[in-house]
Structure 1
Amino acid sequence: MINAKVKPSKQKNKTNNNSFLGRWQRQISYAWHNVFNYFYQNIFASLLTILVIAISITLPTIGYLLLKNANQAAEQWYPTPNLTVYINKTLDSEQTNDLIDKFKTIAEVENVTYLSREDTREEFKTWSGFDDALDLLDENPLPAVAIVFPIEEAKSTDKLHDLQTQLKKIAGVDDVQLDDSWFTRLTALTNMVKSIVWTISIFMVIAVSLVIGNSIRLNIFARRQTIIVMQLIGATEGFILRPFLYNGIFTGLISAVLALILSKVFILQIDSTMLHVSDVFGTMININGLSWEESLLIVLFSMIIGWFSAFIATKKYLNKTVIAS
């Protein structure tokens, strides 16, 4: 009775091993075994390849971090661009309120802060230091002021100037001042850095693809006899491709993790330098690294590049083999 119980169990295990899921698991295990076996057998060359790829990924990552922290520092140092509207002194309080309401109806305006003539007088006395001179005057020479804050979509230089022209045409407005010189320079500098980062990123993606593709070609060359034998015994193209594709994914994964570590080292290195800059500018500058979402995106993107490069290199070799045969 014991034997009768054991035999069905063996038959059941044999059936499970021959099922689609069992075959698929064995093929996946075989592919990863080949990846790790090749890595251990060529560990020095594999580590050099991973280091080169990691540095290639680190360069655009550092550029992105510099751009990200530069934008944050600019928002901290510089206020939001706004327009200062000088209201005619002949308007009474009701007319002034109607004028402020008219400003708020403009689509490009997000908020309006109103300063009465008394408010502007007090602010001028506080910031200029000429409070005694103003007290000698019989009449307040300063007009009422409305500070107009544009919406986010209207903060470009062209749209700010268009809004300035639109406000000047409103009756009761004497003048509109827009101090956008710093904003124009900052926008130009940010666009320049962004273009540089994108250019470096494109070149680095090409470099990573070439390095991974060359590494896979060397792997294929080292195992060319095995591939030929596998083709002769009827191995499918997917079965032959799978170890090389996993090798590309593995190389991209390890390289991306190493690149994230190098980027973190870079952030820690310049953090002390930024402390000195903070003392000079009199403001606290925090250097932010990559978020979890950004890190995950870099890892996934590197793995995709590794898979795609391995696929192109292996497919090209297999096509040549088919043509030659």
Structure 2
Amino acid sequence: MSAKPKQRDNQGFFPRWKRQIGYAWQNVFNDFRQHIFASLLTVTVIAISITLPTICYLLWKNVNEAAHQWYPTPNLTSYIQKDLTQTETEELVAKIKSYDEVESVTYLSRDETLEEFRLWSGFSDALELLEENPLPAVAIVVPKEEAKQTVILHELQKQLLTLKGIDDVRLDDSWFTRLTALTGMVETIVWTLSILMVIAVSLVVGNSIRLMIFARRQTIQVMQLIGATEGFILRPFLYSGMFNGLISAIFALVLSEIFIYQIDSIILDVSSVFGTVFHIRGLSWDESLFIILLSTMIGWLSAWVATKKYLQITQQNN
């Protein structure tokens, strides 16, 4: 009496689904072991395809971080006319602060600018020979984060030059323009390599799945003849594509960490020349998880396209 309910439970939806999942994964692992050399070669090729854009992304991310550390912001130095009174100077500084693009303004009086010049120039003895202070007061303008663009900064410079009491406004943005061009170039390379990576991974996984289908075409035909569903036939190949993508992504992350470890000491020596300490940062957990999920999804999609195309061809021939 107790055997019938147990047999009925084994024929339920979830037990059958569990057995099919186990059967599919068993086929994946068996095929991987039987063709270990070809499987490892496929995984290596995919891993290298993922590693190249990952390294470029790490370089782009660290270049941006180094730029903020070494060059925190492009400032505008406004030179104030010497004949302004204290009240007029305060009104001028307040007017500069009222601009929407301005984050803050640091005012240095004529005495303060002279002291700064004496401290950094090395001409303190020569300055003692002067009868009066030749330096003007300055207002150092720090733009807001959203205003740190070449076009906006030059427009702000033109607006400050129109203010009464401003002799000149200097914007040393040559390094900023070069740095923006450099980071833009690296970003373009990252996106280009990422697109090429997606294409390469899709082609490699698709070709690997096609070879598996060709090797097991007779088995697939027999399964179709005995009434196997399309999902049952597709499942082992889909899991194989996912498995290749997953293992390749993990291997690519290991290669990326090895790259970071190798060049970190070199970057540290270079940064010490600039009087700072900078360490290369690797991928965060979120970034690593994204790469793994993306590679797994590409593997699944490539396997689905290749298998689906084969089944359509067989149905047309039949």
Query: Which of 44, 67, 71 in structure 2 is aligned with 1:74?
Result: 67
Task: Indicate whether 1:321 and 2:318 are aligned.
Answer: no
Pairs within 5 Å for 1:217-256: 217-256=210-249
Name the SS of the counterpart of 1:259 in structure 2: helix
Match of 2:114 in 1: 121
TM superposition shift of 1:17 = 2.0
Distance in 1 between residues matched to 2:38 and 2:269, nearest whole Å: 41
Match of 1:283 in 2: 276
TM superposition shift of 1:62 = 1.1
Match of 1:3 in 2: none
Distance in 1 between residues matched to 2:53 and 2:130, nearest whole Å: 61
TM superposition shift of 1:141 = 2.0
Query: Which of 83, 90, 93 in structure 2 is aligned with 1:97?
Result: 90
Name the SS of the counterpart of 2:140 in structure 1: strand
Kindly provide the CA deviation profile for residues 82-115 of structure 1, in whole angstroms up to 9, marking residues without a partner as x.
Answer: 1001112222222222221211211111111111
TM-score normalized with structure 1 length? 0.93
Match of 1:295 in 2: 288
Distance in 1 between residues matched to 2:191 and 2:130, nearest whole Å: 59
Task: Indicate whether 1:65 and 2:58 are aligned.
Answer: yes
Match of 2:198 in 1: 205
Name the SS of the counterpart of 1:143 in structure 2: coil
Distance in 2 between residues matched to 1:178 and 1:45, nearest whole Å: 59
TM superposition shift of 1:157 = 1.0
Pairs within 5 Å for 1:103-182: 103-182=96-175
Distance in 1 between residues matched to 2:9 and 2:152, nearest whole Å: 68
Match of 1:312 in 2: 305
Match of 1:264 in 2: 257
Distance in 2 between residues matched to 1:143 and 1:299, nearest whole Å: 59
Stretches of structure 2 lacking an aligned partner (at least 5 in a row): none
Name the SS of the counterpart of 2:170 in structure 1: strand
Match of 2:25 in 1: 32
Kindly provide the CA deviation profile for residues 110-129 of structure 1, in whole angstroms up to 9, marking residues without a partner as x.
Answer: 11111112211111111112
Distance in 1 between residues matched to 2:245 and 2:127, nearest whole Å: 70
One-letter identity of the residue aligned with 2:206: G
TM superposition shift of 1:279 = 4.0
Distance in 2 between residues matched to 1:166 and 1:18, nearest whole Å: 79
Root-mean-square deviation (CA), in Å? Answer: 1.5
TM superposition shift of 1:240 = 1.1
TM superposition shift of 1:161 = 0.4
TM superposition shift of 1:23 = 1.8
TM superposition shift of 1:248 = 0.6
Kindly provide the CA deviation profile for residues 285-308 of structure 1, in whole angstroms up to 9, marking residues without a partner as x.
Answer: 211111111111110110011011
Distance in 2 between residues matched to 1:147 and 1:19, nearest whole Å: 76
One-letter identity of the residue aligned with 1:182: W
Name the SS of the counterpart of 2:107 in structure 1: strand
Distance in 1 between residues matched to 2:5 and 2:159, nearest whole Å: 82
TM superposition shift of 1:282 = 3.5
Deviates more, 1:131-140 or 1:77-86: 131-140
Count residues in correspondence. Answer: 318
TM-score normalized with structure 2 length? 0.95
Task: Indicate whether 1:216 and 2:209 are aligned.
Answer: yes
Task: Indicate whether 1:274 and 2:293 are aligned.
Answer: no
